[in-house]
Structure 1
Amino acid sequence: MVFLFAINPVSGGKAKTDWETGITNYFKDSPHNAELLLLDGKTDEKRLNEKIAQLKPDRVVAVGGDGTIKFVAEQLLDTKIPLGILPAGSANGMARELGIPPDVEGSLNVLVDGVLKPTDLISVNGEICLHLADIGLNAQLVKHYQQNNLRGKLGYLRGVVNVLQKHRLLRLDIKLGDECISRAAFMIVLANARMYGTGAIINPDGDPFDGKFEVVIFRRLSFWEILKLFWRYRPFDPKKIEIFPATSVTIETHRKAYFQTDGEYVGRITKLQADIRPGALTMIVPKPVD
């Protein structure tokens, strides 16, 4: 097989030399071929699509974090080429969700020995989302996180303190099927998975293969409640956090709200439309444990 690796050299704020070396060494005596493409953040879409057309790879692999995975997935949507992941970002939410090992050799073994699985996507305001999208507090935190070049769990928690001090409740009108509800909330998450890359579990029943997503409404929130999401999971108090399964949702806000998808800040919006795309992308995942 021919593997094309799309490498984000600055994902997670660290150079990817170890990953490049690991890929080269792994495939040196392998019957498979590995081609490496370093992304530059400027002409990536054109260069990646040209490389795919030239090589006709059997697998394309995103080497980076959730933003890199989202970018590569966008290029593969109509190609039927499976997507693999090497988790080289600062917060590797989708890789954690799929059970992909965090080390070079372990994740490369999944690429070669894993299985192909149709995976759901969420279409959100014209953006695709593999993992999690949200409006409100966390999207504001992502913006703060990127602007201040914060990294890791400590950086995330420092950002939480900063954002909680400034954040106001959003007033929202939410349409779920035939049901319309109004809420005041700190944020709403559209979850195709269980947890953020930081390890915070916000949707314990999430499954990227079940043909639906969950709308998670955070009505009340404090720094200590956020800490609890990291170290222990308990059933949520519905007065604080509500979860609704959905295949489609429309959300309107009374004022502009911060919006992010798969860890990439998009901007501020007043309306969000989201729909599930069942099995829209084939991904390489670890073999099930017998």
Structure 2
Amino acid sequence: MAESLETDLKHPEKPPTARPSFWSQPSARASGSGRVLAVVNPSAGELVASESFDVPLLKPLQAQLSSYGVKLEQLVLKPQGFGPALRARLGDDLLAIYVFGGDGTVLAVVEALGEDRVPIAILPQGTMNWMARDLGIPAESEQAMRVLLDPEVRLIDLGQVNGHPFLCACMLGIAALLARYRERDRHRSRWWRWPVLFFAALRLWGRYPYLRMTLVGDGERQRLRSRTLVVVNNRLERALRRLPFRDRLDGGVLELYAMRRASVQRLRALLGRLMAGSWGMDDVLLTQTSAAVRIEVAGLNHLPVLVDGEIRRLQTPLSFSLQPRTLPMLVPREDS
């Protein structure tokens, strides 16, 4: 498949006579030259990490970018030293970062960038690929690369929890525990993995302790007793879908979701409706804030939090906020 794409890109029907709009924008900060950094996560999604691996799309991507006078560099995401390695590649001639990975890989890039802002493109290779899906990027990496060769920049909100960034959602309670099961079995077939997670959730729900929380936001305090809580960066669409979807990523609002009635029977019914794509908002307790919320948790000084699919152990209380329209992302052009 990549060979076919490479042939198409090397021999287009009409060779480009001008750069796509993104490459000619003043924000590119370069005239006639520039760099794109490809960040590759060899263990993203269901891939198996190894010292030697190949990303077939890198070669045709390099060929196409070179036709615009843009050089492609590669950086492998490794557990140790990734932040300094990425920051060493920054410079005025760095036009964009293309991320080959999932939500956790994108988050690692954002964390490494800190206050620096470089447009980020996502070539989905993760488990959920929530961020790419909400940006309108095709799930198949080859199709995603085609539309992201002529992208446009969209500024989105950046979430913060205790100073740590997040793009999609943070999960407390049983959701963080289930993520450990997911990581343990990530290299197994999804047809084996998801049923195991389903029954693990049912088994753990009756035994997992309730979190006694106080939600502080918009000048109000609200007590909540639940086994799990999800804080989402911007609103979830109310239309029924099998997977969560946000139609806006710059709305400047956080939404909180928790189970309203948390019996095992209730959970079994909800999980069944989630799989069938027929769940409704009456299944959850919804609390909305304008831009910030603090979550106090009784009896716990630290708490494991699932941040965009990655486990973080954070100190309580948890302080959530949004930086509105601050993160530049590369998305398909509306006329593409």
Structure 1 length as normaliser, TM-score?
0.86
- The equivalent residue for 1:28 is 63
Distance 2:153 2:114 in 1: 15
Deviations 1:45-96 (A, max 9, x none): 111111224x831001221111110011123343331111111112211111
- The equivalent residue for 1:14 is 47
Letter paired with 1:283:
M
Letter paired with 2:209:
R
Q: Per residue, is there more strand in 1 or in 2?
A: 1
Distance 1:115 1:122 in 2: 22
- The equivalent residue for 1:231 is 276
**The structure with more radius of gyration:** 2
Cα pair 1:161 1:223 within 8 Å, conserved: no
The correspondence of residues 202-281 of structure 1 with structure 2, limited to 5 A, is 207-221=248-262, 222-237=267-282, 240-256=284-300, 257-267=303-313, 269-281=315-327
Gaps of 5+ in 1: none
Distance 2:196 2:315 in 1: 25
The 1:272/1:155 distance shift into structure 2, 3 A limit, reads same
- The equivalent residue for 2:36 is 3
Higher relative contact order (CA 8 A, sep 6+): 1
Runs of 4+ in 1 over 3 A off after TM superposition: 15-19, 147-154, 199-202, 255-258
The 1:25/1:205 distance shift into structure 2, 3 A limit, reads closer
Which secondary structure state, in structure 2, belongs to the residue aligned with residue 138 of structure 1?
Answer: helix
Structure 1 residue 86 corresponds to structure 2 residue 123 = yes
Structure 2 length as normaliser, TM-score?
0.76
- The equivalent residue for 1:173 is 214
Cα pair 2:252 2:290 within 8 Å, conserved: no
Percent of counterpart pairs with the same letter?
Answer: 24
The 1:169/1:154 distance shift into structure 2, 3 A limit, reads farther
The 1:246/1:56 distance shift into structure 2, 3 A limit, reads same
- The equivalent residue for 1:52 is 90
How far did residue 20 of structure 1 move?
2.0
How far did residue 234 of structure 1 move?
4.2
Distance 1:205 1:61 in 2: 22
Structure 1 residue 73 corresponds to structure 2 residue 110 = yes
Deviations 1:190-241 (A, max 9, x none): 112538xxx7545x66632111221222233413302322432443116x43
- The equivalent residue for 1:124 is 161
State the Cα RMSD in Å. 2.7
Letter paired with 1:235:
G
Letter paired with 1:236:
M
